[in-house]
Amino acid sequence: MFVSKDDFKFNAAHFMAYPGFRERLHGHNYRVSVRVRGALGEDGYVVDFGDIKKATRSICSELNERTIIPMKSDCVEVKRRDGQIGMLCEDGSRFSVPESDCALLPIVHSSAEEMAAYICARILDSLDAVHRRKVAFIEVAVAEAPYQEARYSTELGR
Ligand code: ZN
């Protein structure tokens, strides 16, 4: 199965940071697509397209018009205080963004690669037990620009 919809998208701000390097804050119009392989169930489905669409749209809306905060960063110190998210970078730069404008993600870098892995895990979490059991392979692609995307895939032991 392959699902790619016009509304599988979000606009978000981010900057890549790793020790010794930081990008300037900038944004992308991200697009998401999902590929699933698995056993056909008695209901005629591997996974209901509707379930994949619902999960993906909901994650996209959580990320839309947010600043992506990589909570596990090894070089950006992230602090929550008085409804603000503060980020202190290695080079001494500071950012402060209202928490409601942020998406706090359990990732080290806000790369398309790590965001694809995060979205993949969230989609799997959203599937009910029956459908999750039938998924043998799932791949999530996150494009930050046309023809520039990262794909994360995982094989699930069954
Ligand atoms: Zn970028």
Distance 9 CA to ligand 1 centre (A): 15
From the number of C-beta atoms within 10 Å of its C-beta (0-12, 13-18, 19+), residue 89 rates as middle
Distance 14 CA to ligand 1 centre (A): 6
Domain CATH code at residue 123: 3.30.479.10
Distance 125 CA to ligand 1 centre (A): 26
The domain of 99 spans: 2-155
Distance 98 CA to ligand 1 centre (A): 20
Distance 5 CA to ligand 1 centre (A): 22
Question: What's this model's pTM, rounded to 2 decimal places?
Answer: 0.94
How many structural domains does the chain have? 1
80-98 residue pLDDT tens = 999 999 999 999 999 999 9
41-84 residue pLDDT tens = 888 888 999 999 999 999 999 999 999 999 999 999 999 999 99
4-28 residue pLDDT tens = 999 999 999 999 999 999 999 999 9
List the structure tokens of 42: 């008695």
129 membership: H or E segment, kind and range: helix 129-134
